[in-house]
Structure 1
Amino acid sequence: MREQIKTILNEVKELIEGKKLETFGIDFKKIDGEYFEKVFQKYCQSVLERGEFNEFILNDIRGHKFPDFSIEKDGSIYGVEIKSSEKGNWTIPGNSVYENTPTTNFEDIFVFFGSYKEDVNSFEVRITEYWKAVKDIKVTHSPRFEISVNPEIETDFFESWDAFATFKQKDKDEKTKLLQDFLKEKKAGQNLWYVPVGEEQAEPMLFEKLEKEVQNEILAKCFILFPSEIFKAKSTGEMDSDYKDVTRFLLEEYFVYSPSMRDKFSSGGKKGLEQDNEPPKFPAVFKRFAKLGNQIHNILQGLDQGDSANFKELLLTIWNQENSVIRYDGESFVTSYKSHLNNLENSPNLQYVIRKELADDTKTNILSSKISQ
């Protein structure tokens, strides 16, 4: 029956994938998870009406239950959890670690993942077993599984369906203990979180308590992800850096925070890029950037060489947002980033900050020149 379920899901995929949204005949105000659930339900039901599948029954069990749908025949039940991304991603937050819906009555649970591709106004679909798609634990206010069907990303949190099903049957304290042990062993100082046994509320770790090497890696990634926000300037020639996205990134990706995040980038007044007291002197964020230049280069070069699939997916999501002014050129993350830094540095407001020190109207490439080995 497993192979029949896979066939059914692939038949549904064929009916959805690559089709313009207007052909589905389903009204929607936004392209969200609820909309894609309706699309799946409509086309799965149509597949089950075919002769070879008409003994299968689709059940809608959405709401407070996991998974969203079940498909059953002769007492055997398989689950289908619907996931979607309106931004073209293949990695999203999954279900709560502490969600306690029984899984003992399922033979297995599949993920039916639709990723909306705006340029062609249609979904691309990928299907896999849910336990195979669990790649990590992410914490905002409470722990959640992170789900990915990106083939470049390693997903080995659970070794089998039985391991996943066994975990689901554990009580709250047992789950907490297992996850504490996993993160302590596997994360080596990043993505760490702490949950007192017996409580579901997680407390983020202070950024300052991370190893210095990890702090620098995180700051380097922040400069890569959010250069426009970090180097934001006023028309009067003062820096006006915005760290809201930085703070959100720290919480969502590492579950750490700092009550003085701005100081990690810009404390200390104006400084020389080589020696603090040697002119020309720029706002301290320039010096912090320069000190991390080699590390920033190494991260970007690693992406060009196929490393860090997780960070690559996040980076492309942020860079390619509709309101983003930075774009990947399709060839090199290093050159794409340097090009953006040059454009940013020579934009009117930031250019004014620099010109006040250089007294020169020619274009500069101060920031991009620090991105090297």
Structure 2
Amino acid sequence: MIIVCDKMREAAVGTFFEGTIKLTDAHAFPDIVANGYFGVEVKMTTGNHWISTGNSVLESLRIEDVERIYIMFGKFGGTLDIRYRLYQECLPEVSVTHSPRYRINMELPIGKSIFDKIGIDYDTLRKNDNTIQKIKEYYRALLKEGEELWWIDQESDDKSVSPIIRPFRRLAKEEKDNFVIEAMILFPEIFGKKNTKFERAAAYLIAEHNAVSSNIRDCFSSGGKVEMEINGKKVLLPQICARLFAQAKEIKIKINQLDNKILSYYWRTDKIGEDRLSQWKNFLDKNFILVNSDILASDIFDYALYEENKELS
């Protein structure tokens, strides 16, 4: 970038840019500033392509007064070549290294940038207080069933995430229980019959707890069926029902602590009612089907709370 800066200074002689071209600090964005308003970000690749990783979407190290930035891109693989373009024109998507960063493609057609896809122009997005959230909303809309984003939320400043992925079996008992409780609340489909019913819970385990399980089903249903008495009736139930019964009190507490946005997203609904517990029980009953019995999942949950209150009285 020093060479680029020197060449720009030579070319600026006799123009209103003369004497204004400066190399910025090592980690600042962009690399070069001209006349305090224009910027040049220098990128290069040793490969025979025009693709590279760009800068952080938050642009926290951006030079404040710079309003218009260009990419100067050198391709050293294959035939040596250099191209330049307006920065926002060649950003097709966001990728993640240690933080969400723009992807650069110098061959990107006009109208195909990430900003065109989101429907918001570059300057508006970069000045937004919730830049990452806007991008996450776009990518979340593209998710297929069982997929989940794992980026750190911009709004979760109090949340630190370890770079280490742990096996579920090594989590402390409290953290295991927390995951099971959260999963039963957020993913009522795990009470159903579909083969894919644990996929979203597995993605959530990675994204929110930095853990993986080779057989996540065992977190809920290991041990086979169990005989339980519900409302005076003895019935043979899946093991997950025993977990529901055992964690009923904690579920009731947790469900009233969760943010509406979290429930709305994972429940795939635009509206969270005032009685979110009843709303959740409706989701449970739609997924849970017990052959040759009229017992509902909500019956198991309610009976557990009844037994809890009876013991306390």
TM-score normalised by structure 1 residue count? 0.43
* Contact 2:181–2:247 (CA under 8 A) maintained in structure 1: yes
* Contact 2:225–2:239 (CA under 8 A) maintained in structure 1: yes
2:176 maps to a residue whose letter is Q
Q: 1:71 to 1:263 in 2, by over 3 A?
A: closer
- The correspondence for 2:202, drawn from 242, 247, 265, is 247
Residues 290-327 of structure 1, C-alpha deviations (whole Å, 9 max, x = no match)? 11111111111123xxxxx4xx533321212xxxxx66
Residues 270-293 of structure 1, C-alpha deviations (whole Å, 9 max, x = no match)? 113359xx9311111111121111
* Partner SS for 2:256: helix
Counterpart position of 2:302: 369
Counterpart position of 1:97: 98
Question: Aligned residues: percent identity?
Answer: 17
2:263 maps to a residue whose letter is L
* Contact 1:250–1:256 (CA under 8 A) maintained in structure 2: yes
Distance 2:223 2:254 in 1: 26
Q: 1:314 to 1:96 in 2, by over 3 A?
A: farther
- The correspondence for 1:212, drawn from 173, 178, 192, is 173
Report the number of matched residues.
207
Residue 55 (structure 1) shift: 8.1
TM-score normalised by structure 2 residue count? 0.50
Larger radius of gyration: 2
Distance 2:250 2:213 in 1: 22
Distance 2:271 2:304 in 1: 16
Residue 221 (structure 1) shift: 0.7
Matches of residues 161-172 of structure 1 in structure 2 within 5 Å? Answer: none
- The correspondence for 2:262, drawn from 288, 310, 314, is 314
Q: 1:130 to 1:94 in 2, by over 3 A?
A: farther
* Contact 1:267–1:284 (CA under 8 A) maintained in structure 2: yes
Distance 1:127 1:369 in 2: 45
- The correspondence for 1:340, drawn from 270, 274, 283, is 283
* Partner SS for 1:272: strand
* Partner SS for 2:128: strand
Distance 1:371 1:78 in 2: 61
* Contact 1:301–1:333 (CA under 8 A) maintained in structure 2: yes
Counterpart position of 2:242: 287
CA RMSD of aligned residues (A): 4.8
Residue 79 (structure 1) shift: 9.6
Structure with more helix by fraction = 1
Distance 1:210 1:289 in 2: 20
Matches of residues 1-373 of structure 1 in structure 2 within 5 Å? Answer: 56-57=37-38, 63-67=52-56, 77=66, 95-97=96-98, 127-128=128-129, 146-148=152-154, 153-155=155-157, 191-194=161-164, 204-228=165-189, 230-233=190-193, 242-273=197-228, 279-303=234-258, 309=259, 312-320=260-268, 328-345=271-288, 350=289, 354-356=290-292, 358=293, 365-369=298-302, 372=305
> Any gaps of 5 or more consecutive residues in structure 1?
1-53, 83-92, 102-112, 134-143, 158-182, 184-190, 195-203, 235-239, 304-308, 321-325
2:191 maps to a residue whose letter is F
Distance 1:328 1:267 in 2: 34
> Any gaps of 5 or more consecutive residues in structure 2?
1-34, 43-50, 70-86, 89-93, 103-113, 135-149, 309-313
Distance 1:250 1:223 in 2: 12
